[in-house]
Chain A
Amino acid sequence: MTTSNDALVRFIDVQKTFDGETLVVRNLNLDVADGEFLTLLGPSGSGKTTTLLMLAGFETVTHGDILLAGKSLKSTPPHRRNIGMVFQNYALFPHMTVEENLAFPLESRQAGKAEIARKVGRALEMVQLTGFEKRRPGQLSGGQQQRVAVARALVYEPRLVLMDEPLGALDRQLRENMQYELKHIHESVGVTIVYVTHDQGEALTMSNRIAVFNDGAIQQLASPSALYEEPENAFVAQFIGENNRLTGVVKSVNGSECMVAIDGGGEVAAAAINIGGTGSRTTLSLRPESVRIDPPADGYPDRFEARIEEILYMGDHVRVRVDVCGHDDFIVKVPRSREAPALAVGQTRTIGWHPGDCRALDVA
């Protein structure tokens, strides 16, 4: 699987420090495949933006190397890397018209007048801004500026485009529309995109793969569904989607299964994902939608009595906060349907889940 021949970008043992004492990026190894939409996802300060800036050439690599199409970028300044980039605040040149903004990279590459006109026209068509050529960025709405920024990053047909939280400044509705548009542009142009965001929804919607960053290192690199359904450590489980955590001690391990004694009392079977040997501490991760109230007898060996503390009506589902095993912040999502059990605060009900949905992870 570690075939690197068709990797467009390779990070090899990359380290980065600003002050010489703390590593902002530690020993990063990452391959970005040609044509891929790869998202670097993580909280602020996790090193994802620094990684992007090193790739763009705005930050030096302290140690290690970055290869683009097999060539080291070490001595290539940003303007010779032939990479496209969309900035968080778009960084459109305020003194140039839309047309001039788009022509700028082409002129930098000594393109002919006719070619420039053709490519600018095509790029504007792609982001549906034909007719806005003579406007200045200050006369455009946020969404339109965003499109111009995307068009400008693509107009000179780079193989790789970097995007640094490009949708961060847009309101929610616009952001969701733009997510689809970016995805369509990616699919139709076939360009490789490295995308930085702290918004997991955005990452899950658009990416082929997501690299979850925390504390300067990749915690997990996987497809959106794998990331959500099969988190490999407590950080990822907690960071992506909603998650219930129960702590306990491993009693026995049996292949891919294990038995865990929960701190608040009781013993459950769980999928052994990321645990030490018998006797080590572990965090159990459970998605709220995997938990059933009044589960059928079959296939739900993990069962507990839970007291209902709070019920929140969410439209398509009901969120039930229950007190179980000494945790009073355990959430259960109950889809709204005719068959949904009648619930009331103060009731004590049985909850249960499938052992495969309960993942025993490291202690974060």
Chain B
Amino acid sequence: MATASPPNGGADANGATTPSAATTPSAADANGVFTVDGVPLKIKLRRAERWARLRAIGLIVPLFLFLMVSFVLPIFTMLWRSVENPEIGLVLPRTAARMQAWDGRGFPPNETLAVVVEEFVAAAGDRTIGKAAKRLNYHVAGYRSLTMKTARRLERAAKQQGMEALLAGPDLIERFKGIDARWGERRFWTILKQASPPHTAFYLLQSVDRDFDEDENVVKVGEHRAIHVDILGRTVFISVNVTILCLLLGYPIAYLLATLPTRQSNVLILLLLLPFWTSLLVRTTAWLVLLQNEGLVNDLAITVGFWDDPVQLVRNRLGVYVAMVHILLPFMVLPMFSVMKGIDPYHLRAAASLGANPLRAFLRVYLPQTIPGVGAGVLLVFILSLGYYITPALVGGPRDQMLSYFIAFHANTTVNWGMAAALSLVLMCCVAVFFAMYQRLVGVGNVKLG
């Protein structure tokens, strides 16, 4: 077909062409495309693409590795601690092995008890018994003193009588009972058995107020120890309330910012960003100063005559709500604002022109369009509040502390890493669920700041 036509005047171009495509071009046959050297094109292309991709990945790898080593690995190592159970195995290795072999019925056999005696004496001698005692105390309060006392007595007896005499006799259990009557209760022995394996579900069960009984059934722990579910419930309850309060206060603000002329809204956004950029500790301190009994708010209220004596406004739930809402409000407003900014004001006018009254127009036309922003804001604030620690710790009372506080408490004060890790895992799971929702709603690549 198309043979070259001479150019029409103009340049001295007389380039020719021999377009060799068929008169009726058909799609290239699927597998028939080969390069000159016979390599199927697809493979050659994939090679080229892979190279570009490798270069891109090469840019990501440093950060990825950095985070893996400095961040992800530490957290997973710590979380793994929630199922690790090394103490008994380290301090009383043979006891741990023997106890695991014991079927848990009656009392442990005499040979096992002999091993227990030997290792208690040895551990008391090199002062490692405290570690095991502390571990056993997680199960029942008092187990620590029981262990320490027993180990000391056995050590003394071994010194006085010699180990052989100590181990003589068919009923070593009687010797234990002689030291403390509690050794006559089977559960103290099953606890020792349960604490022996290198891995345990104990901490995870504890984190939801469950425990093993003597027969290894999962049961609820006693009422005085059942605190973790309450704490989780309180954490969620406070977070929900904070989120609702933020939504109620944030929606009008976002609406106002989105509807004002840009020049005015820019100024107001600065007022919103100032608290956003101000240190959390500073803001918490500010509320502490304002709300304390001798603080500005009480002072003002008494002067004006709202109340006569200082009212407790801080180190209680009220203080927690005030400070947390203050800190989290910008996180609610900013996503809602960016969604509302994108809503065409003509929609409301169109609704009005169609005869809807303003309230109806707002509810049916405006509100539904703001739902993505509301959802993003609500999830963000909720996720952030779940992990709050500093603010409740400073402005809350003992009954207002959230899960994070107890995680820090276990890691810091009681140095019970198993419990700290198990509670961390619970908190992480809660956050992960809501973050997955957030990600579905907003998309992880679309997280916006400020």
A interface with B by C-beta (< 8 Å): 1-4, 6-7, 15, 17-23, 26-38, 60, 62-63, 208-209, 211, 214-227, 230, 232-233, 274, 362
Give the residue name and chain of the B residue nearest to A24 (CB). B28
Out of A18, A36, A215, A224, which one reaches B15, CB within 8 Å? A36
Q: In the complex, what distance in Å separates the CA atom of A233 from the CA atom of B25?
A: 12
Contact of B6 with A by CB under 8 A:
yes
Please give the distance in Å from A225's CB to the nearest CB on chain B.
5
Contact of A362 with B24 at beta-carbon distance under 8 Å, contacts A17-B41, A63-B35 already known: yes
Q: Does residue B16 face the partner (Cβ distance < 8 Å to A)?
A: yes
* A3–B6 alpha-carbon span in the complex (Å): 12
B8 at the interface (CB under 8 A from A): yes
**Would B19 and A29 count as touching, CB distance under 8 A?**
yes
Contact with A along B1-45 (1 / 0, CB 8 A): 110111111111111111111011101101101011000111111
How far apart are A47's CB and chain B's nearest CB, in angstroms? 10
B78 to chain A, nearest CB (A): 45
- A23 with B33: CB separation less than 8 A: yes
Task: Flag whether B302 is at the interface (Cβ < 8 A).
Answer: no
Smallest CB-CB separation from A26: which chain B residue? B21
Q: Which listed residue (A19, A63, A233) contacts B1, Cβ 8 A?
A: A233
Q: Does B219 contact A (CB under 8 A)?
A: no
Complex CA gap A225/B16 in Å reads 17
Chain A residues near B35: list those with CB within 8 A.
62-63
| Cβ-defined contact, B15 with A7, below 8 A | yes
- Judged by a CB distance under 8 angstroms, whether B433 is at the interface is no
- The smallest C-beta distance from A142 to any residue of chain B, in angstroms, reads 23
Task: Give A18's nearest chain B residue, CB to CB.
Answer: B45
Given A4-B16, A38-B13, 19 more A-B residue pairs with CB atoms under 8 Å apart are A3-B14, A6-B14, A15-B33, A17-B41, A20-B41, A20-B46, A21-B28, A29-B18, A32-B13, A35-B12, A36-B10, A63-B36, A209-B8, A215-B21, A221-B17, A221-B19, A223-B6, A233-B2, A233-B23
Q: Which residues of A contact B21 (CB under 8 A)?
A: 26-27, 215-218
Q: Out of A1, A28, A36, A224, which one reaches B16, CB within 8 Å?
A: A1
B48 on the A face (CB < 8 A): yes
Question: Out of A21, A34, A221, which one reaches B42, CB within 8 Å?
Answer: A21
Which residue from B1, B14, B27, B40 sits with its C-beta under 8 Å from A22? B27
Please encode chain B, from 94 to 120, with 1 for each CB lying within 8 Å of some chain A CB and 0 for all others: 000000000000000000000000000
CA distance A62 to B6 in the complex (A): 29
How far in angstroms is the closest Cβ of chain A from B402?
47
Is the beta-carbon distance between B14 and A214 smaller than 8 angstroms? Answer: no
Instruction: Give, as a whole number of angstroms, the nearest-CB distance from A220 to chain B.
Output: 4
For residue A32, which residues in chain B have a CB less than 8 angstroms away from its CB? Answer: 13, 15
In whole angstroms, how far apart are the Cα atoms of A270 and B43 in the complex? Answer: 50
Which residues on the A side are within 8 Å of B18 (C-beta)?
2, 29
Given the complex of chains A and B, what is the CA–CA distance between A23 and B45 in angstroms?
A: 13
Which 6 pairs across A and B sit closest by C-beta, in order of nearness? A223-B8, A217-B21, A31-B15, A33-B13, A20-B42, A222-B5
- Knowing A222-B5, A232-B1 are in contact, say whether A27-B11 is a contact too (CB < 8 A): no
In the complex, the answer to whether A217 meets B15 with C-beta atoms within 8 Å is no
How far is A223 from B24 in the complex, measured between Cα atoms in Å?
23
CB pair B25 A215 closer than 8 Å: yes
Q: List 9 A-B contacts (CB under 8 A).
A: A18-B45, A30-B17, A36-B13, A60-B48, A62-B41, A209-B7, A215-B21, A224-B8, A226-B5
In the complex formed, the residue of B with least CB distance to A8 is B15
Cβ of A33: which chain B residues have Cβ within 8 Å of it? Answer: 7, 11-15
A216 to B25 alpha-carbon distance, docked (Å): 9
Report yes or no: A21 in contact with B19, Cβ–Cβ below 8 A: no
Given contacts A21-B42, A29-B20, A215-B25, contact A221 B5 (CB under 8 A): yes
Bound Cα distance A134, B6 (Å) = 45
B33 touches A20 (CB 8 A): yes
By the criterion CB–CB under 8 Å, are B4 and A221 in contact?
A: yes
Given A20-B33, A60-B48, A28 and B19 touching (CB < 8 A)? yes
Q: Assess whether B14 is in contact with A208, with CB atoms less than 8 Å apart.
A: no
State in angstroms the CA–CA spacing of A220 and B23 once bound together: 11
What chain B residues lie within 8 Å of A226 (beta carbons)? 5, 8
CB <8 Å contact, B13 and A35? yes
**Contact A208–B10 (Cβ < 8 Å):** yes
Q: Quick one: closest B residue to A362, CB to CB?
A: B23
Residues from chain A with Cβ under 8 Å of B10 in the complex: 36-37, 208, 223
- Bound-state CA distance A63–B27 (Å) is 17
Interface centre among B33, B35, B44 (most CB of A within 10 A): B33
Nearest residue, chain A, Cβ from B8: A223
A220 near B12: Cβ-Cβ < 8 Å = no
Among residues of B, the one whose C-beta sits closest to the C-beta of A23 is B28
A36–B11 Cα gap in the complex (Å)? Answer: 6
Q: For residue B30, which residues in chain A have a CB less than 8 angstroms away from its CB?
A: 21
Does the CB pair A214–B48 fall under 8 Å? no
Chain A residues contacting B12 (CB-CB under 8 Å) are: 6, 33-35
From residue A186, how far is it (CB to closest CB) to chain B in Å? 9
Contact B33 A209 (CB under 8 A): no
With contacts A26-B21, A29-B19, A220-B2 taken as known, whether A209 is within 8 angstroms of B28 at the C-beta atoms is: no
Residues of B within 8 A of A15 (CB): 33
Question: In whole Å, how far is A20's beta carbon from the nearest beta carbon of chain B?
Answer: 3
- Establish whether residues B16 and A208, one from each chain, have CB atoms under 8 Å apart when the complex forms: no
Specify the chain B residue showing the minimal Cβ separation from A190.
B11
B19 touches A217 (CB 8 A): yes
Complex CA–CA separation, A62 to B44 (angstroms) = 9
The CA of A23 and the CA of B43, in the complex, are separated in Å by 15
CA distance A6 to B12 in the complex (A): 9
**Which of A21, A29, A215, A225 counts the most chain B CB atoms within 10 A?**
A21
Q: Which residues of B contact A23 (CB under 8 A)?
A: 28, 33
Q: Kindly state the separation between the CA atoms of A27 and B12 in the bound complex, as whole angstroms.
A: 26
B43 contacts across to A, CB distance below 8 A: 20
How many Å lie between the Cα of A362 and that of B25 in the bound state? 12
B33 to chain A, nearest CB (A): 6
Complex alpha-carbon distance, A175 and B212, angstroms: 82
Contact string against A for B residues 41-56, beta-carbon threshold 8 Å, 1 for contact and 0 otherwise = 1111110100000000
* B33 contacts A35, C-beta separation under 8 Å: no
- Residues of B close to A20: CB separation below 8 A: 33, 40-46
Q: A20-B41, A220-B5, A225-B8 are in contact. Are A209 and B19 (CB under 8 A)?
A: no
Expressed in whole angstroms, the Cα–Cα distance for A224 and B12 within the complex equals: 15
Determine how close the nearest CB of chain B comes to the CB of A31; give it in whole angstroms. Answer: 3
Contact B13 A214 (CB under 8 A): no
User: Roughly how many angstroms separate A222 CA and B8 CA in the complex, as a whole number?
Assistant: 8
Complex Cα spacing A170 to B8, Å = 28
Known contacts A36-B7, A223-B8; A31 and B42 CB within 8 A of each other: no
- B residues 390-436 touching A (CB-CB < 8 Å): none
